[in-house]
């Protein structure tokens, strides 16, 4: 059995100093471990950085314009938050479909994002909400903010540099009235199921027409992304059967699903439509 080296830094400065002293080693950021422990042999030989005690990664704060969620906040902590329940119901709808109570007690929002799976259920709502994420670099000891959509570079791959930590998830709040939010996930069954295909949508209606709409399907392309052609087509239109049929055609051409152990390409196209 190989030895495992780990660090539970109390603050980012402590982590940065440790990183500088051990730069040549491999690092793995460890939050709830619910993804990492599935393939635990892959982290052998790395220094495990347990971010659970990092104050900068904890808690949920709200102001007039944003809700900011620490990356190490668990999914159940988010579900219990009054602020998130009232202001970002689409995120609550998505988290409710995830795993079990026991897993959600450990699993974190930062871990779901950091895992970068196209099936990650918090990712599609965060993408339509135009979320930004704060990233800490232990190399420069600095924090930068990027749109979440630029984080993903492929299935299970991110643009994070070695040792970087997502510390905060910053979700802008919309002032507009008549906003419609929708999250739907199709899996093998209703509970404890990984997404075969999903959709997050937010839209604003004006006089029964769509003023704007943002759509992000899950598990149907290498990374979660917005469906800009479908969104553009729907803008200013009433949802008649003809418009819906045309939108289905456009979205089917915007996604690029594959066949894998969870589903087939054909089924993913069918349920996205």
Ligand X SMILES: Cc1cc2nc3c(=O)[nH]c(=O)nc-3n(C[C@H](O)[C@H](O)[C@H](O)COP(=O)(O)OP(=O)(O)OC[C@H]3O[C@@H](n4cnc5c(N)ncnc54)[C@H](O)[C@@H]3O)c2cc1C
Binding site for ligand X (CB under 6 A): 28-36, 51, 71, 98-99, 103, 106-108, 110-112, 114-115, 119-121, 165-166, 194
Least distance in Å: CB of 58 to ligand X?
11
Q: What is the CA radius of gyration of the chain?
A: 19
User: Edge-to-edge strands of the sheet including 142-147?
Assistant: 60-62, 66-70, 165-172, 132-137, 142-147
Instruction: Count Cβ atoms below 10 Å from residue 267 Cβ, excluding itself.
Output: 15
Whole-angstrom distance, CA of residue 22 vs CA of residue 24: 6
| Length of the chain as a residue count | 273
Query: Which of residues 122 and 230 has its CB atom nearest to ligand X in the complex?
Result: 122
Minimum CB distance to ligand X, residue 213 (Å): 23
Tell me whether residue 191 or residue 244 sits nearer to ligand X (CB atom): 191
Nearer Cβ to ligand X, position 104 or 226?
A: 104
Q: For residue 246, give every residue at least 6 positions away whose Cβ sits within 8 Å of its Cβ, in sequence order, or none.
A: 233
Q: How far is the CB of 258 from ligand X (least distance, A)?
A: 18
Of 35 and 231, nearer to ligand X (C-beta) is 35
Q: Closest-CB residue for ligand X? A: 111
Please, which residue, 159 or 253, has the CB nearer to ligand X?
159
- What SS3 class is residue 144? strand
- Minimum distance, C-beta of residue 142 to ligand X, in the bound complex (Å): 15
Per-residue tokens: 267: 């089924």
Q: How far is the CB of 104 from ligand X (least distance, A)?
A: 8
Q: Is 11 exposed, middle or buried (0-12, 13-18, 19+ CB in 10 A)?
A: exposed
CA–CA distance, 58 with 53 (Å, rounded to integer) = 8
């Amino acid at each position: 059995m190989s030895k495992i080296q780990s660090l539970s830094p109390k603050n980012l400065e402590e982590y940065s100093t440790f990183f500088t002293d051990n730069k040549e080693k491999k690092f793995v950021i460890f939050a709830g471990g619910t993804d990492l422990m599935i393939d635990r042999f892959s982290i052998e030989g790395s220094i495990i950085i347990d971010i659970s005690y990092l104050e900068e990664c904890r808690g949920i704060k709200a102001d007039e314009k944003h809700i900011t969620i620490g990356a190490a906040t668990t999914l159940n902590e988010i579900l219990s938050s009054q602020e998130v329940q009232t202001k970002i119901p689409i995120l609550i709808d998505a988290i409710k479909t995830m795993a079990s109570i026991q897993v959600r007690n450990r699993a974190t929002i930062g871990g779901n994002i950091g895992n970068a799976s196209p099936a990650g259920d918090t990712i599609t709502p965060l993408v339509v909400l135009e979320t930004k994420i704060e990233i800490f670099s232990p190399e420069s000891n600095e924090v930068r903010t990027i749109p979440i959509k630029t984080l993903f570079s492929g299935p299970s791959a991110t643009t994070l540099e070695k040792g970087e930590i997502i510390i905060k998830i910053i979700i802008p709040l919309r002032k507009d009235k008549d906003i419609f939010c929708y999250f739907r996930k199709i899996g093998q069954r209703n509970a404890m199921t990984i997404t075969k295909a999903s959709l997050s949508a937010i839209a604003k209606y004006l006089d029964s027409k769509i003023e704007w709409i943002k759509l992000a399907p899950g598990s149907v392309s290498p990374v979660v992304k917005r469906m800009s052609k479908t969104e553009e087509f729907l803008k200013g239109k009433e949802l008649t059967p003809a418009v819906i049929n045309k939108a289905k055609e456009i979205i089917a051409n915007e996604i690029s699903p594959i066949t894998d152990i969870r589903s087939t390409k054909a089924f993913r196209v069918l349920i996205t439509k």
